Structures are given as structure tokens and as C-alpha cells.
Amino acid sequence: MSRAAAYRPKCRTCERSRRPTDLMCPRCWALVPEDLQREIYRTVTRGSARQSDAWTAAVEKAVAIVEAALKPQSKPEEGPA
């Protein structure tokens, strides 16, 4: 049994573990808009740690959307009234 098989990576936006082949846990991934999910699948380089700028940009966008969605909904509007 290799070390890699026991490796349990964390979701990019929360503390839950995800599958090594996934970017996020299923809950966070579900918050990513479908067109952005498709963009990530389309631009990913399989079998390589090196990813394209297009993929990195799409992932950063997805992470920002999920992080915004996960924030507590305490204030309904941005900035002072």
C-alpha cells in the first residue's frame, strides 16, 4: 500500500475531505455554477500537476463564488447604508 493511496486531501474552500480526483467536496462543488464547472472540466490537464492558466483562472473564480456562498448571511447588503 502506497502513501498516495492514504492521502486525504482537503476541499479548497472548507475543511471537509474530498476525493483526490476532485477539486472540492461535493457540497462545495454543488455551489459552483454549471457553466463554470464545465469550464473547469474543459480546461483541466489530466495526469499532470501543471495546469493551464485558463484552468487556474476558472478554479479561482469557482473558489471565490463558493467562499462567498459559505459566508454567514448576517448582513443583507455590502457596505454601510
* Segment contacting Zn ion by CB under 5 A, of 14-22, 35-43, 46-54, 71-79: 14-22
Rounded Cα gap, residues 81 and 78, in angstroms: 8
* Residue from 23, 28, 40, 58 binding Zn ion (CB under 5 A): 28
Residues touching Zn ion, count (CB under 5 A): 6
* Residue from 14, 31, 44, 63 binding Zn ion (CB under 5 A): 14
The helix/strand/coil state of 53 is helix
Rounded Cα gap, residues 33 and 45, in angstroms: 21
CB-wise, 15 or 77, nearer to Zn ion? 15
Beta bridge partner(s), residue 32? none
* Residue from 8, 10, 11, 31 binding Zn ion (CB under 5 A): 11
Q: Is 48 exposed, middle or buried (0-12, 13-18, 19+ CB in 10 A)?
A: exposed
Binding residues for Zn ion, rule: CB under 5 A, are 11, 14, 16, 24-25, 28
